[in-house]
Amino acid sequence: MSHGPTFYSSRGYCIYCRAEGVRLTDEHIVPYSLGGNHVLRDASCDHCAKITSKVELKIARELWGQARQSFGATSRRKKRKGKTQIVPDGENIGRFQAVPNEEVPAIFAFYHMPPAGILLGLNETFDTLPFWKMSAIADSNRQEQFERKYGFKPAVGFRHQPKEFGQLLLKIGYGQALTHLDCQDFEAICIPYILGEKSNVSWLVGTNMGESEALLDIGYSLGTKAFGTTELLYIISDIKLWANTFMPWYHAVVGRVQGRDKVRFVVEKLNSINASTTINSPEPTRLRNRI
């Protein structure tokens, strides 16, 4: 995947529900609100777009809303974006201060989670979401400058959105996989979760093992890998949002391929674009896509 805006041709039907002969809209792989500029052309019908947009908005506004405004993230509502925020005193209830966006020490909250349940051999109904741990990335310099200037410790605001966070990872991962494969190449087991028809997102998403390093000058980084046997192959996307921070790498198991002939076809297709696959190995290699 190239740097800068990139567009991928339409399949001619909705990538989620496979509806044909309906109005289709472009689908950003990473949401525009999170800086995404890789786009699947005419990829989603209005019904499915409404569902995925609702998930994206919950993350963009409720989990990361204050942080996005503070750090000048992209928005489609530029005319309505305020230049200041009302920041409450974290220690004195009822005290507030209007503060310019660039001075608000907001945080990016995110989740550490076990590997995807499907990769651990867990049943689809076994939910590991109660084991997810919330972490945060803060700008300590901005925090210190704020306290010196305004004389109080600010309260930070966000709303816990674990299910929607998992749905977003699956939506991004699915779009990423479609930059290398066609919809008919694999069974998209992620779709019922993206559309909210199934709720246990922990079965398909998880945090990669190991320490996460910041990738300087990169907005986000995505990767595709295949992992399994000659009879059963999983299509997995690696995802790192806010890549210039220490936010972890996540993985999203978006599809599976069953049968020796189909597995061979997908492996050859991925190999032809240098996306290596790993058979019977715990450490799949990956093709990294960065912006």
Task: Indicate whether 242 belongs to any domain.
Answer: yes
Structure token pair of residue 169:
């990872």
- Please report whether residue 229 resides in a domain: yes
Number of domains within the chain: 1
- Nearest by Cα to 40 from 170, 165, 182, 168: 182
> What pLDDT is stored for residue 78 in this prediction?
55
Evaluate whether residue 227 is within a structural domain: yes
Domain that holds residue 185: 6-290
126-to-7, 129, 130, 267 alpha-carbon distances in Å: 37, 9, 11, 30
Write out the chain's pLDDT in tens, 291 residues.
455 678 999 999 999 999 999 999 999 999 998 888 899 999 999 999 999 999 999 998 888 877 777 776 666 555 556 788 888 887 878 788 888 888 888 778 899 999 999 999 999 999 999 999 998 887 788 888 888 988 888 887 788 899 999 999 999 999 999 999 999 999 999 999 999 999 999 999 999 987 667 676 677 889 899 999 999 999 999 999 877 778 889 999 999 999 999 999 999 999 887 654 444 433 333 334 433
Q: State the pLDDT at residue 112.
A: 94
* pLDDT of 12: 97
- pLDDT of 4 reads 61
Which of 55, 49, 40 shows the shortest CA–CA distance to 22? 49
pLDDT for position 44? 98
- pLDDT for 91: 80
Chain-centre distance for alpha carbon 208? 14
- Determine, yes or no, domain membership for 1: no
Q: What are the two backbone dihedrals, phi and then psi, of residue 40, each rounded to the nearest 5 degrees?
A: -90, 115
Q: Which residue from 249, 165, 237, 160 is spatially nearest to 201, judged by alpha carbons? A: 165
